[in-house]
Structure 1
Amino acid sequence: MAHDHSHAHGHDGHGHAHHHHAPSVDTADARKRVAFAALLTFLFMIAEVVGGVISGSLALLADAAHMLTDAGSLALAWLGFKLAERPADDQRSFGWARFKILAAFVNGIALLVLAAWIVVEAIQRLITPEPVMGNVLMGVAVAGLLVNIIAFFLLHGGDQEDLNLQGALWHVAGDLLGSVAAIAAAVVIMTTGWMPIDPLLSILVAALIVIGGVRITLQSAHILIEGVPSGLEPADIKADLEAHLDGALSVDHIHAWALTEQKPLVTLDVTARDGACLDALRQAVKDRLAEKFNVTHSTVEVRKPVQ
């Protein structure tokens, strides 16, 4: 069966507003921030492994494991930004933009797995306590705190709405908390000799890591399954367009989803009133979607009313 889809001037009235931009300054900035944070994290992870083995501290080894995971996660985040800059092609009409959402999802899962590992190790340490060298723990933990503070503010200065960057930021925040916990454990061990503080504080850090992991995983999963973006509920779009566009008799078949957290997409059908100019109505719908809902990529079909 032949299908006649006329665009721009056809009677079916299909209109597509497609915007394929060059790599944004925000993306390039975020990529550089993530690359530097990844390098910092990886280099200091080596020092933490050495310090953890020498001191016997689970807090340090857990933080080192976290930093190793983070180095990989930050590298994945960097790859996400890098691929997102590639233009669209015949096989990927939207380019690689969504890869950074996939990277954020993987990072979220990695956070949850890491938290579970820390808890299991901590429980084993509580059952079978091991001696910890407080002075070595303190020295490495303080150095780690300084490195993590630098990485944290480096990432925190980037785009706060970028899920990929936020996933990387949560990893570094977990590292920072791990360093604080290690310092606290060192103080307690050096002053009281109470060894269980080391695994107990590790569990606290794991709980905080879970919060970030759940948040990043749920938000990125919502985008990956093409859930409706916040503020783009179809009922609200329908009510707004029907109320503000004189030429629209009804608005139906509304679908709203997102390519990335910063690029919402909408498709919908509009039935025009008698005498309304289809092209003008289509453009009016696009203008309203951009103005009211910040949607710059929409596919609008305008139909004549059924006689």
Structure 2
Amino acid sequence: MSAGHGHGHGHSTSTDADQSWLAGALALIVVFMLGEVVVGLISGSLALLSDAAHMLTDAASIALALWAIRLAARPAAGRMTYGWKRVEILSAQANGLTLLLLAAWLTYEAIRRLLDPPEVAGGVVLVTALVGIVVNIAATWMISRANRTSLNVEGAYQHILNDLFAFIGTGIAGVVILVTGFDRADAIATLVVVVLMVRAGVGLVRASSSIFLEAAPKDLDPTAIGQAMVARPSVVEVHDLHVWEITSGSPALSAHVLVQPDHDCHAVRSDLADMLARDHHIDHTTLQVDHAATGAVQLGSPHLDQHCEEPHGPTHRASESAQRESAGDR
């Protein structure tokens, strides 16, 4: 029997750069948010106050992302055998949930103001929105320079991007109010932004939940991987195949592999690990490799493996011709 483990933790050398970009965006957001609260209260604009509330969640999301990056950098130790990498996924899920909760509150307020619209100072709203667009374009650009393959960073990015959309909507509402006096434009702009917030929030919650549920990454097909593994020389069967993500961009795989009797288990394990890294970009692999029972290596045999009475998931077996070719190589 051969149990092998191959891995590549791939700690990004850009972590410090990511933190610098996020910290810069955080500073911009906090300064402008404080000014927006004051202007929103003076002008009576729900759109501005909603933007300020959204920017508060933006600031919190960036701060949470920064904290998650630092915590995830801690090495594995004690009971935390994967380290703290999954805290980044917790951060992403928290960002998604706050977007959805904020969208629910803004929907209520917007509908209330559609029914009974207050007077809104369109000029003040327009000027503030234009400044907000500039600030959010700068913040969005900063975060886009960080590693967005991280779901944690992507969560913060989605918050800032949606706030940029909110300011654009607010600016349009300010123009409409100035030209036509239609105060309901403020609430309508808020509802448009709510749709974008819900879309981003659902996407983040769905992606983070998929990782927590140990689902295979979207770009990796466990069936295709199992077939590729069983097609390798000397491999008879692959079962208990599991593919998941430790955190975003860090796929892992484990499997039980049966090989032809008298073939080298260690060589097969090394070949499989190389193939998985080369063709599927999976560097973190744990493979239990055993010899199939002598005489049991035949197509469709339901008892190739005596180690696992109830294998989890589908069983992948080599074709009869492949088994004969492999046996002929001995």
Tell me the TM-score normalised to structure 1 length. Answer: 0.93
TM-superposed deviation, 1:238: 1.4
Residue of structure 1 equivalent to 2:156? 168
Paired amino acid for 1:16: H
* Residue 61 of structure 2 is aligned to residue 73 of structure 1: yes
Paired amino acid for 1:25: T
TM-superposed deviation, 1:20: 4.0
Matching residue within 175, 184, 197 for 2:172: 184
- State whether residues 83 and 96 of structure 1, in contact with CA within 8 Å, keep that contact through their aligned partners in structure 2: yes
Matching residue within 103, 109, 123 for 1:121: 109
Residue of structure 2 equivalent to 1:17? 6
Contiguous gaps of at least 5 residues in structure 1: 1-11
- Distance across 2 between alignment mates of 1:128 and 1:156: 40
Residue of structure 1 equivalent to 2:225? 237
* Residue 112 of structure 2 is aligned to residue 137 of structure 1: no
The aligned runs of 1:273-292 (5 Å cut-off) are: 273-292=260-279
- Distance across 2 between alignment mates of 1:177 and 1:135: 19
Deviations 1:94-142 (A, max 9, x none): 1111110110011001111111111111011111110011121122111
Residue of structure 2 equivalent to 1:28? 16
Moved over 6 A (4+): none
Secondary structure of the corresponding residue to residue 130 of structure 2: helix
CA RMSD of aligned residues (A): 1.2
- Distance across 2 between alignment mates of 1:40 and 1:145: 12
Percent same amino acid at aligned positions? Answer: 38
- State whether residues 265 and 298 of structure 1, in contact with CA within 8 Å, keep that contact through their aligned partners in structure 2: yes
Residue of structure 2 equivalent to 1:214? 202
Tell me the TM-score normalised to structure 2 length. Answer: 0.86
Paired amino acid for 1:296: D
- State whether residues 262 and 291 of structure 2, in contact with CA within 8 Å, keep that contact through their aligned partners in structure 1: no
TM-superposed deviation, 1:274: 2.3
Deviations 1:13-68 (A, max 9, x none): 111113445x4123332222222212211111111111100111111000000001
Paired amino acid for 2:163: D
Determine which structure has more spread, i.e. the larger CA radius of gyration: 2
Deviations 1:177-213 (A, max 9, x none): 1111111111111111110000001100111111111
- Distance across 1 between alignment mates of 2:278 and 2:6: 14
Deviations 1:139-195 (A, max 9, x none): 211111111000011112222322111111110011101111111111111111110
- Distance across 1 between alignment mates of 2:38 and 2:64: 25
Matching residue within 194, 213, 225 for 2:182: 194
Contiguous gaps of at least 5 residues in structure 2: 295-330
- State whether residues 138 and 183 of structure 1, in contact with CA within 8 Å, keep that contact through their aligned partners in structure 2: yes
